[in-house]
Amino acid sequence: MLNQKQRHRLRRELTERLAALYQTVRADITAADLAQRDPGDEADDAVADELASLLDEHDRDRAHQLEDALRRLDSDEDYGVCVDCGQPIPFERLRAAPSAERCADDQERVEEQARAAGYAPPTM
């Protein structure tokens, strides 16, 4: 499990990544603006939706992954725990792939099974 310091650091890094992504569309979005968002605020959600609509498909997917990771980090006590084996996902893996729901070993197993079945799943 992530400790409070790791959660805080990961949240800051994810917020900064998301702000940088949105700054390509709207230069006045800052990490501080995003950090102060109220997750239930409809006005904040409307601004996020507007910005997301201006991003290209790749950036939009990336933004959704970062937003989802932030929501899970803030609300899910199981964030950072592998959905398959229940073991903690290493902090460095979460920094590199914040939307990861599996440890590297289990993710590799899932991808190998998908390749064997002729399907390549999206990587986290």
Q: Which helix (H) or strand (E) holds 47?
A: helix 42-54
pLDDT at 97: 93
Calpha distance 26→21 (Å, rounded): 9
Amino acid identity at 104: A
Burial class (CB in 10 A: 0-12, 13-18, 19+), 15: buried
Is pTM beyond 0.85? Reply is: no
Burial 16-39 (b: 16+ CB within 10 A, else e): ebbbebbeebeeebebeebeebee
52-102 confidence digits (pLDDT tens)? 666 677 788 888 899 999 999 988 778 999 999 999 999 999 999 999 999
CA distances from 115 to 59, 99, 104, 110 (A): 26, 21, 16, 9
In eight-state DSSP terms, residue 120 is: -
What is the mean pLDDT of the segment spanning 14-27?
A: 82
Nearest CA to 14 out of 78, 99, 87 is that of 99
Q: Higher model confidence: residue 100 or residue 50?
A: 100
Judged against a pLDDT cut of 50, whether residue 32 lies above it is answered with no
